[in-house]
Amino acid sequence: MVKVSIGMPVYNVAEYLPQCLDSIIDQTFTDFEVIMVDDGSTDGKSFEICQEYTVRDKRFKLIHQKNGGRSAARNTALKNMAGEYITWIDSDDWVEPDYLKILIDTQTRTGADLVNVGHKGYRDGNIYVADYEQAFGKYPNYVIPLEAAIHDSFWTSLNLTTVWGSLGTRELYNGVVFAENIDMEDQGTKFKLYFKANKIVAVPDTPYIYRKRSGSIMNPTEELLEDRIRKTEDMAKGLEILLYYADIVDFDIDFCFREFLGRMEYEIQIAKLNEEDKSKFREYIEGYKQKLRKYWGN
């Protein structure tokens, strides 16, 4: 059995794909397979690039499917993985040569069934590094309590909600399905691993590089109301799934409910809307909170 399966959704990323795949080939830990799922790319190049790497390196495997979104591609990858452990690398990002080694060494040393590392941000030729020692080091031996991990699912204060930058056991992923038809699919899925995990560890190493594409707007000066509502609804879909799971596993539902209400209130604070639209957005949030209280409140 191969030690690590790397899942990679691919969709119209020809510009970035060679750097990503080369960074995997350069890994110091070599017992891995890469499951690339081309999710119906239309750029005419991404699929061909993936094919080239399957010829160059037999550890690379390629699956093509009709476009169904990143979650659908992740679910396809999961069905075709043979590894003892599972990690993810998004096809427009890249990793440093010790990415897999750090994950595996940490798992071996700690016995954790879910290991996380920090990441660097990349935008327009610049690298940005956060202080993960401060974030993770406050927990003894970098062991993240379940409540802290769930808190992060609402607030992303520890930046743990992504599945890339993490390593989980095959058993941990058994029965896990990525939430489809939402953009923030990791936020609607990672907590499923938390509830199943016996031990969650996060180390401050930053061997994963997350690319913030130049075409996206990181800090818009003003948003459209419909865009802000769409983003908030997308986030809330994943968090509603979390509430259902918390209820099923008998986790502190009151804690989750309070976190959810607080997060929705925070959405008003961070919304970059004009005064008229902000008033309308506040009404939308209040209506959503009323719905939450109806189904989950005391």
CATH number at residue 40: 3.90.550.10
**33: its two tokens:** 């397979």
Same domain for 20 and 150, yes or no, is yes
Q: Is residue 190 situated within a structural domain? A: yes
**24: its two tokens:** 């995997």
Q: How far apart are CA 117 and CA 122, in angstroms?
A: 16
Q: Is residue 217 situated within a structural domain? A: no
Asked if residue 298 has pLDDT above 70, the reply is no
Secondary element (H or E) of residue 200: strand 200-211
Whole-number pLDDT of residue 27: 98
pLDDT digits (tens, 9 = 90+) for 58-71: 999 999 999 988 99
Q: How far apart are CA 171 and CA 186, in angstroms?
A: 19
Same domain for 154 and 30, yes or no, is yes
In contact, 159 and 151? CB cutoff 8 Å: no
Q: How far apart are CA 255 and CA 246, in angstroms?
A: 10
Domain boundaries, position 280: 225-296
Could you tell me which of 108, 84, 103, 209 has the C-alpha nearest to residue 166?
103
Could you tell me which of 198, 202, 102 has the C-alpha nearest to residue 157?
202
Q: Is residue 218 situated within a structural domain? A: no
In contact, 179 and 157? CB cutoff 8 Å: no
Same domain for 193 and 256, yes or no, is no
Domain-ending residue, one of 181, 211, 241: 211
Residue type, 27: Q
Q: Can you name the residues that pair with 166 across neighbouring β-strands?
A: 116
Same domain for 163 and 195, yes or no, is yes
Same domain for 142 and 110, yes or no, is yes
Domain count, the chain: 2
**62: its two tokens:** 């390629």
Domain-ending residue, one of 189, 211, 233: 211
Is beta strand 4-10 parallel, antiparallel or unpaired with respect to 85-88? parallel
Same domain for 178 and 62, yes or no, is yes
| Residue 215: pLDDT band with limits 50, 70, 90 | very low
SS3 for 176?
coil
pLDDT digits (tens, 9 = 90+) for 23-49: 999 999 999 999 999 999 999 899 999
Q: What secondary structure does DSSP assign to 27-96, as a single string?
A: -S---EEEEEEE----SSSHHHHHHHHHHH-TTEEEEE-----HHHHHHHHHHT---SEEEE--TT-EE-
What's the whole-number mean pLDDT along residues 278-289?
Answer: 94
Same domain for 127 and 258, yes or no, is no
Q: Is residue 10 situated within a structural domain? A: yes
